[in-house]
């Protein structure tokens, strides 16, 4: 197994698309800015990577003129001990894939400033997943750093899965033995992800996760089992569950 100490020469950047509005949350504030355990959801997510020793820097894609981001970035991040790594801001897009692509473009444009190579790594993580464990980041880096395709965290599907028609009538029970729920982070070489996402969007494939772009490129990302506590905050009850998980970290 590759050890963390053996791969310190590689860079690991994080891309966080944070331009969503979270309609299902039913809040007038975007869900990434809702309060969670004394911080905002996004601050909790950022702190995971800002404190991780192997992460070089972060690119955050936010909506232009986002007042919530300006507040936490200026008043909280820059005035705290977390401000030790570069945080690059990129424009958010109407869809998640556009936000990720904009962030990758911004990072690639600044690659000379950070001595970054196209073969260095990017971990794309949802802004609304603030309960990611450090061990899961370590696991991704250990397992994927010597691969060509990269991969992602996921969870095997445990429930019985039904396929239904447009009238919600059950058509069949789907075999679940090879089905996984995709989580984040999803980790890929910078240039590979940039090229594959550009091609997907050019082909009008508005992929909902980054591994899908790699798959469309003809490659097979590796699935790694992550922690079930790595939830995505989508509905109001998820905030209470996230607070519980954070208290256990």
Supply the mean pLDDT for the chain.
91
Dump pLDDT digits (tens) for 198-231: 999 999 999 999 999 999 999 999 999 999 999 9
**How far does the chain reach from its first CA to its final CA, in angstroms?**
26
- List, in sequence order, every residue forming a beta bridge with 121; answer none if it has no partner: 12, 189
pLDDT at 23: 64
Domain-wise residue ranges, the chain: 7-248
What's the token pair of residue 126?
Answer: 């949802």
Q: What pLDDT shows up at residue 218?
A: 96
pTM over 0.85: yes
The C-alpha atoms of residue 166 and residue 160 are separated, in whole angstroms, by: 19
Of the listed ranges 23-27, 79-83, 168-172, the one predicted with least confidence = 79-83
Give the C-alpha separation, 2 to 86, whole Å. Answer: 27
Q: For 29-86, what is each residue's pLDDT tens digit?
A: 899 999 999 999 999 999 999 999 999 999 999 998 898 998 887 666 655 555 578 9
CA–CA separation, 185 and 13 (whole Å)? 11
Cβ atoms 93, 104 nearer than 8 A: no
The single residue listed with the structure tokens 């790595």 is 230
In terms of Cβ atoms closer than 10 Å to its own Cβ (0-12, 13-18, 19+), residue 177 is: exposed
CATH superfamily of 7-248: Spore Coat Polysaccharide Biosynthesis Protein SpsA; Chain A (3.90.550.10)
Band (pLDDT 50/70/90 cuts) for residue 7 is very low
């Amino acid at each position: 197994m590759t050890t963390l100490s053996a791969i310190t020469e590689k860079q690991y950047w994080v891309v966080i698309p944070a331009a969503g509005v979270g309609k299902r949350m039913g809040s007038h504030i975007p869900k990434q800015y809702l309060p969670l355990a004394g911080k905002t959801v996004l601050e909790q997510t950022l702190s995971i990577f800002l404190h991780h020793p192997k992460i070089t820097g972060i690119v955050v894609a936010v909506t232009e003129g986002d007042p919530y981001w300006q507040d936490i970035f200026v008043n909280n991040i820059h005035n705290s001990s977390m401000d030790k790594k570069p945080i690059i801001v990129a424009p958010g897009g109407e869809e998640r894939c556009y936000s990720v692509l904009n962030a990758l473009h911004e990072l690639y444009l600044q690659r000379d400033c950070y001595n970054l190579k196209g073969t260095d790594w990017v971990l794309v993580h949802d802004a609304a997943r603030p309960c990611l464990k450090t061990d899961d980041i370590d696991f991704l880096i250990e397992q994927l750093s010597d691969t060509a395709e990269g991969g992602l965290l996921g969870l095997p599907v445990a429930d019985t899965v039904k396929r239904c028609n447009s009238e919600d009538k059950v058509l069949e029970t789907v075999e679940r033995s090879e089905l996984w729920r995709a989580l984040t982070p999803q980790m890929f070489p910078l240039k590979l992800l940039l090229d594959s996402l550009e091609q997907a969007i050019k082909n009008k494939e508005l992929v909902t996760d980054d591994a899908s772009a790699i798959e469309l490129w003809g490659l097979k990302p590796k699935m790694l089992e992550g922690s079930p506590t790595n939830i995505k905050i989508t509905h109001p009850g998820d905030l209470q569950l996230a607070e519980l998980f954070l208290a256990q970290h």
